[in-house]
Amino acid sequence: MSLLRQLLPFALSLFLASPALAQQAPVPPTLAAKSWLLLEMGSGQVLTAEKPDERLEPASLTKLMTAYLTFAALQKKTITLEQSLPVSQKAWKTGGSKMFVRVDTQVPVDDLIKGMIVQSGNDACVTLAEGIAGSEENFAQMMNREAQRLGMKSSSFTNSTGLPDPNLYTTAHDLSLLAGALIRDFPEYYKKYYSMKEFRYNNITQPNRNRLLYIDPSVDGVKTGHTEAAGYCLISSAMRDKRRLLSVVLGTKSDSARASESLKLLNWGFITYDAVTVAGKDQAVATLRVWKGLQKEVKAGFTADLVIAVPKGFAEKVKSDFVAEPRLIAPIEAGQKLGMLQVSIDGKPYAEYPVIALEAVPLAGFFGRLIDTIRLWFN
């Protein structure tokens, strides 16, 4: 399980645990949008949100799930970047934004991915869906299974493109889970494709519709979306000083508005909060005694840097304490929860995060288990 998915259920809403800290919380901006959310990727903290659980039409933000499953297929070697996929009549006839593939031709997967991400090509999405799952209907079932696995409890997918459908919906919260998973699970593909500013195919050059790629050099993705019902939507991510924020803005009035409102949200998060590294990647927060194991100890920590956001002026007041699970008995699996890291600011509770085993501890042999059983009688 990824670090962010471990942290999200445990990350406390900022300042809710402490009225004193709540008084110091930065005042969030008001956006001209239906729904929005700003996520600190390093810790899973939601810095601010407005109607994050309201069901809305995702439009082309749906393509994030299509991309996620495409990258997963590449990782599993179900398909390859060099492989060419056939363009069906259905893919060719699909309406909306297009990559302009030609029916009954073969198109490399690498080009289809660029057409899907940069050009938001619906024809590219259907071609990929059919190539991976046999049909777009089968692919939609895969999308819904993956959504459940990622914890997207308020989402339903019916196609690979985001074209309007009564049973196609999601939320800002769910989209933050999806976009965060894509960035985290497939960093090489994210870096390769999502910062592309234009793509030329079939002698047609189309620009990336994400205006922030041209405005702010710290922004490196993610995806735009638009239908009449959904309005103008944008999920964007920016990295500044090794700190990544993810913004979800849904239902603005125009292309320029989704860009300006998203940038407003990102800038607010970077300006009003500092990043504090509480624990390093693969570094032991604690070394714990293990009973009946082949090894007597296990290292506990995080598989990625734990970076939390705190309001300006509070960084020096951050403290953390590790609370271990009582009496660890082998076998211990790598990734198993071993306790909680409790974070406080100025002596007041702030958040807590699950700490996991950084290594496995297999069961000891018969005599080793017997000796520890006897020792446990006296402990």
Q: Which of 18, 35, 43, 63 is catalytic?
A: 63
Label residue 104 exposed, middle or buried (CB < 10 Å: 0-12, 13-18, 19+).
exposed
Residue 46 to residue 249: CA distance in whole angstroms: 14
User: Residues 277, 283, 287, 293: is their CA dihedral positive or negative?
Assistant: positive
Whether residue 76 lies in the annotated active site: no
The count of C-alpha atoms lying within 13 angstroms of the C-alpha of 327, restricted to the half-sphere facing its C-beta, is 8
Cis check: omega of the bond before 222, within 30 degrees of 0: yes
Q: Which of 18, 35, 43, 60 is catalytic?
A: 60
Nearest to 66 by CA among 99, 24, 30, 43: 99
Torsion, Cα 323 326 327 333, to 10 degrees, reads -70
Q: Which of 18, 97, 120, 160 is catalytic?
A: 120
CA distances from 16 to 11, 47, 245 (A): 11, 12, 21
Whether residue 43 lies in the annotated active site: no
Whether residue 281 lies in the annotated active site: no
The count of C-alpha atoms lying within 13 angstroms of the C-alpha of 295, restricted to the half-sphere facing its C-beta, is 11
The residues assigned a catalytic role are 60, 63, 120
